[in-house]
Amino acid sequence: MKPAIVNTDFSFSRLKSKYEGKVRDVYYVDDYLVMVVTDRISAFDVILPRGIPFKGQVLNQIAEKFLDATSDIVPNWKISCPDPNVTVGHYIEPFKIEMVIRGYLTGHAWRHYKAGNRFLCGIPLLEGMKEHQKFFKPIITPTTKAQTGHDEDISKEEIIASGLVSHHDYNKLEEYTYKLFDRGTNIAKGKGLILVDTKYEFGKKDGEIYLIDEIHTPDSSRYFYMSGYEERFAKGEPQKQLSKEFVREWLISNNFQGQTGQRVPEMPDEFVESVSDRYIELYESITGEEFKKTENEDVIKRIKNNISNFLNE
């Protein structure tokens, strides 16, 4: 099995700082933000001990395509993708929330509902709903954006009252979120998929709101196969999906949900390889293109050279 890229340690001239996120290594060079998407994988806000081969390439290349496909809705941070694992863009001061939008009662929303809760981020939920049921209209359920630990659900009213985002800016974020989700839904439909839920991150530069980070990737989104959805829903069967949810389900089945005192289970080779295959499957399903593996390269060297060439230009 191909080794995974779990960390980078590059030194560029004019490098100001480096930040390591759950998945991305971010280098600030001059006025550029150089984002290297590694093969690290997180679940329940915990970085798992093994990386997933090709995951970073999948995420970066899907995000690149969707950033380009939605730039008419809202400007975004991307300038160029000089390497399959790298995006270079503008530094945008981020809002400290994530705009989560849900079209179906699935995942975290379902677990919250199943526990007896009938409000999610201040939004009332109907009685008698079933897992994977479609909402009459997509709902926006924001979260805080934690530097470490768990993101927390938060309501629109709490966001505005706390000053995290102004009332005017939040209304724009809602507008962009609905439009982006609608675009992503239509693109997915054309590929026989359902965009179930996703999250968007935004920031502000020179008074203008920008879309930042990734968009419509399997790390930030959940997809169902359209074929058979109705039949599986009617029978109460699990949906066939392309997302990171099956990783969470595997962890739950192995007694891990990121709670204090819990230990991450060992990830066998077969499981790691199956996760890699699922990421590649989603890439090919959502883009309609064959995924091109870069198996016989020194990937770290390639990434550094491509970044350096871009910066030198």
pLDDT of residue 294: 77
The answer to the question of residue 301 being in a domain is no
Least confident of 19-23, 240-244, 275-279: 240-244
Q: Is 99 exposed, middle or buried (0-12, 13-18, 19+ CB in 10 A)?
A: buried
For residue 110, the domain's CATH number is 3.30.470.20
pLDDT of residue 150: 65
Percent of the chain whose pLDDT exceeds 90: 85
What is the SS3 assignment for 136?
A: strand
pLDDT of residue 31: 86
Average pLDDT over residues 240-261: 88
CA atoms within 13 A on the CB side of 6: 11
* More reliable by pLDDT, 176 or 279: 176
Give the Cβ contact number of residue 224 at 10 Å: 23
* More reliable by pLDDT, 41 or 146: 41
Is the model's pLDDT at 148 over the cut of 90?
no
The answer to the question of residue 111 being in a domain is yes
Average pLDDT over residues 154-174: 97
**Taking all residues of the chain, what is their mean pLDDT, rounded to a whole number?**
94
Average pLDDT over residues 79-88: 97
* More reliable by pLDDT, 297 or 208: 208
**Residue 296's beta-bridge partner residues?**
none
pLDDT of residue 90: 95
The answer to the question of residue 76 being in a domain is no
Between the alpha carbon of residue 155 and those of residues 106, 111, 126, 160, 167, the distances in Å are: 19, 18, 18, 9, 13
Average pLDDT over residues 116-139: 97
Distance CA 262, CA 178 (A): 37
Number of domains within the chain:
1
Q: Is 127 exposed, middle or buried (0-12, 13-18, 19+ CB in 10 A)?
A: exposed
Strand pairing class (193-205; 97-104): antiparallel
The answer to the question of residue 226 being in a domain is yes
The answer to the question of residue 284 being in a domain is no
Distance CA 185, CA 59 (A): 18
Average pLDDT over residues 190-202: 96
pLDDT of residue 35: 97
- Provide DSSP, 49-108: SS--TTHHHHHHHHHHHHHHHTTTTS-BSEEEEEETTEEEEE--EE-SEEEEEEEES-TH
The answer to the question of residue 265 being in a domain is no
Please check whether residue 93 is in contact with residue 205, taking contact to mean a CB–CB distance below 8 angstroms.
yes
The domain of 130 spans 94-246
What is the SS3 assignment for 185?
A: helix
The answer to the question of residue 253 being in a domain is no
The answer to the question of residue 295 being in a domain is no
